[in-house]
Amino acid sequence: MFPSSHVYTSPRVIPLLVLGFASGLPLALTSGTLQAWATVEGVSLQNIGFLTLIGTAYTIKFLWAPLVDRYAPPVLGRRRSWVFFSQILLALSIAGMGFMSPSGNLGALAILAVLVAFLSATQDIAFDAYSTDVLRNEERAAGAAVKVLGYRLAMIVSGGLALVLADQWLGWQNMYFLMGGFMAVCAVATVLAPEPEVVAKAPSSLRNAVIEPLAEFFSRKGALTVLLLIVLYKLGDAFAGALSTTFLLRGAGFSVSEVGTINKIFGLAATIVGALAGGSIMARLGLYRSLMLFGILQAVSNFGYWVLAVTPPHLSFMALVVAVENLCGGLGTAGFVALLMALCRREFSATQFALLSALSAVGRTYLAGPLTPPLVESMGWSGFFVLTVLIALPGLLLLRLRRAEIQQLDIAPGH
């Protein structure tokens, strides 16, 4: 087994930190940060509400993923070329947002933000495909963890830090110029990143790029149950987290500042530690045993919220519960992203990863989001959090059912 102490120093893993940062940087700049800018400049609430539609590209990016699989600019290789040109165009577009203002050019600014979101989603397609292709089997979890770390750091920079810079130092327009500069620097890392050791042949036509990824996946043994596993694996975690902030405020009785501080400090730190630890653990245990361990920990960690629901509020214990839940969630995320990578064939990694990642959001978006409020109302907070542990069990049972196939992914040469 690949030595876990060395897994993060691999030349294939290290560049993913900067590329993960580039992947996460545009999101807040077209969502929360842009909304804050519009709010400060007195844009109406209705118009600010419409700005939430800017991020649609992230949810439908699988529609043009076959183009990324089929075609590639003739420099830097099949995947890095898409990443590089997306980053250069993103740098220019983000900086271009700095020439406008929500109060004076809201329509044009929104259109440019839509372009940024489209380019960012395209970068994500190519980056996910690149990381799937470049990592060796035993490096997947470490690569997933480093991607998560880079992405989270970018969210801090383009979310929280950007607001401070805009308010206290640079102003909004200069802040967007700076963020565009950050993206341009990330493009240098793309140039320096290595090519995959095995470069898969692209699909022979656009038609094949659309059809073959689906045909190949559904030709596998147990394909439908694997898809169901993707929906169910983190479902208990999704239900527990859907209204966690509301619970801590309304159900457990903590203040807004207490919840904000604990979530930002302990929650973020624990998620990063969990993701990095997940990479090392998976290097030792392999994919199946790690997914089972992380899934059990994700389920058990929800009991912490149950304890908070039935005991008087104690800040230190709330911090412990949030830290443990985010730590286990980080472990699960690292393992889950590694699973998605392992399920993709190199020939179609852009399309298959985009489709699988879209499927993974089904439980969180269409089940946990709508169903959590009525469940809480009917069962109360304590009963609900016990239920979230039970909701996690079908995913673990399905994981056990597909044990042989998932163990094979650790050694399958086609991946």
Q: What is the mean pLDDT of each run of 10 residues along the chain (415 residues)?
A: 64 95 94 89 86 86 93 90 98 97 93 97 96 88 88 88 90 96 97 91 89 91 90 91 84 82 79 86 89 95 93 91 91 90 90 89 81 91 95 95 87 54
Q: Which of 282, 216, 236, 215 is nearest to 398 (CA)?
A: 236
CA 171 to chain centre: 29
Distance, first Cα to last Cα, the chain: 17
Question: d(Cα 283, Cα 332) in Å, to the nearest integer?
Answer: 14
Q: Which pLDDT tens digit goes with each residue over 77-135?
A: 899 999 999 999 999 999 999 999 999 899 999 999 999 999 999 999 999 999 999 99
pLDDT score, position 79: 94
Cα angle for residues 250, 254, 256 (degrees, 5° grid): 90
Asked if 302 and 322 count as a contact pair (C-beta separation under 8 A), the reply is no
Residue 336's identity, in one-letter code, is F
Asked if 282 and 290 count as a contact pair (C-beta separation under 8 A), the reply is yes
pLDDT score, position 1: 38
Taking the whole predicted model, whether its pTM rises above 0.75 is answered as yes
Number of H-type helices and E-type strands within the chain: 22, 0
pLDDT score, position 394: 95
pLDDT score, position 93: 98
Q: Is 162 helix (H, G, I), strand (E, B) or coil?
A: helix
Rounded to whole angstroms, the maximal C-alpha distance in the chain is 63
Q: Is 314 helix (H, G, I), strand (E, B) or coil?
A: coil
